[in-house]
Amino acid sequence: METTNTPDAGKQSGLELASSTRDAFRETFGSEPLMVFSPGRINLIGEHVDYNEGVVFPAAVDQGIYVALGLASSGKDCHAITRNFGEEFRFKPSGLKALPDGGWRNYVIGVVAELEKRGHPVAPFNLMIAGNLPQGGGMSSSAALENGIVYGLNTLFTLGLDRMDMVRVSLDAEHHYAGVQCGIMDQYASMFGVKDHFLLLDCRTLEAEAVQIDLQGHELFLINTRVQHSLASSTYNERRALCDRTAAALGVPALRDASLEALKALQREGRLSAEEFAKVSYVLEEMARTQAAAQAIRNQDLQALGALLFASHQGLAQKYEVSCPELDFLVEQARQAPGVLGARMMGAGFGGCTLNLVRCDASEAFTRHTREAYRNAFGHDCDILRVHLGRGTHVVESEAGYALV
């Protein structure tokens, strides 16, 4: 069987990618697929807050991952193909373990394994994946992939899971098979996204308010550094471990419940170094900024919102230390540019994208100047993407009569 190698799949529009992936599935497997779209996400503010049980402000976007699924016609193996990398993978849908350096394969088998653990084993199936999210760009391509697979399998095999059940499957797949101890924000935003809204999500109660933002003649841009990060091999897990240790030392469930005074007391006792104090105090400050950002949106005060974005980046770069020269350069360019209200790095850090709030009539000059300045500084291009807020994971179409969940 010949696989479909389409490394430029990420450059296709959503409609083009959905159509070409459906056609490729038909040609490869000889059957009509169930098509699922699972979006990436942005986070307006509230970075590295979700795993500390704080409040975050994400939204689903209109770019993401298309998943085509169907029952295997014969054999005992599942057959998965990723069009972006031109790679394929066969596996039995039971007794699965994480693969060393498994990459995208671990997201696939992680979801299947977590379903089996919950008493929902699945029969052999065929799977084709294609996405137009920048890999490592901080838009949660891994959460989009996990959500797309679990949503598709839930529909294909009528497992009866609700959206929150599926979010937890995706999160456990990330933890146990990809090795990233992330919080719940990425999977939640991708699954529950509301078109044209941000979600003010309480990561402890999992209650969310859909907040529509009036951009008042402004638009949101992502600027991708093309510097890719690997969360499992970066210091991401170290940051989370520090936060967990500090909460335990204070005798509270999470840093959400800590106070700055309590952190200062730990430092005076010699139980937090100056560097550790900077990192955990950033978390408390970012939680406060998130609530302030929500109030700024309610007040339609975009100037205040922009200032909070710049302050968020300063904290991430100087206190939490998860930025990189490319991200800092882009934020500084934004700070100096006319018509830019705010900017910050977005995502776990060490690469990926900046999020920029830009006046519409200044956007062309801003993006043109930023491209040129970045190329001159680093010797390669950045990618600039205008952001549109979309809906959460859903079935694209189904000629076989599958129902939306």
Is 186 noted as a catalytic residue in this protein? yes
Which one from 77, 165, 172, 186 is the annotated catalytic residue?
186
Residues with Cβ < 8 Å from 124, sequence gap 6 or more? 71, 72, 75, 76, 77, 78, 79, 92, 93
Catalytic residues: 186
